[in-house]
């Protein structure tokens, strides 16, 4: 199975890298970009064949390592 994890900063958490991207886009002439929030994308190939077990395992991975749950949210997709 393949798991895709999207990790983003929670609303209200400052995103200096997003601001830097926004300013760089403006400097390149891309006007009208009001805000940029950046995040992480992680793709995992899993040996697990049971979708529920795979999702539970990836959720635990996110809570223990892949995201900082104090300041980040994560979303999991399993195929």
Query: pLDDT per residue over 2-46, tens digit each?
Result: 999 999 999 999 999 999 999 999 999 999 999 999 999 999 999
d(CA 67, CA 48): 21
Strands of the sheet with 72-78, listed across from one edge: 39-45, 2-9, 72-78
Q: Phi and psi at residue 73, in whole multiples of 5°? A: -105, 160
Bridge partners, 41 (sequence order):
6
The pTM (predicted TM-score) of the whole model is 0.88
pLDDT bucket at 79, cuts 50 / 70 / 90? very high
Element (H, E) at 45: strand 39-45
Cβ atoms of 38 and 21 within 8 Å: the answer is yes
Give the pLDDT of residue 28: 97
């Amino acid at each position: 199975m393949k798991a895709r994890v999207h990790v983003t900063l929670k609303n209200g958490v400052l995103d200096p890298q997003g601001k830097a991207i926004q300013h760089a886009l403006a400097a390149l002439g891309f006007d009208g970009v009001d805000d940029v929030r950046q995040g992480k994308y992680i793709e995992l190939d899993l040996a697990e064949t049971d979708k529920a077990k795979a999702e539970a395992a990836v959720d635990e991975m996110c809570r223990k390592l892949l995201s900082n749950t104090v300041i980040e949210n994560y979303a999991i997709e399993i195929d």
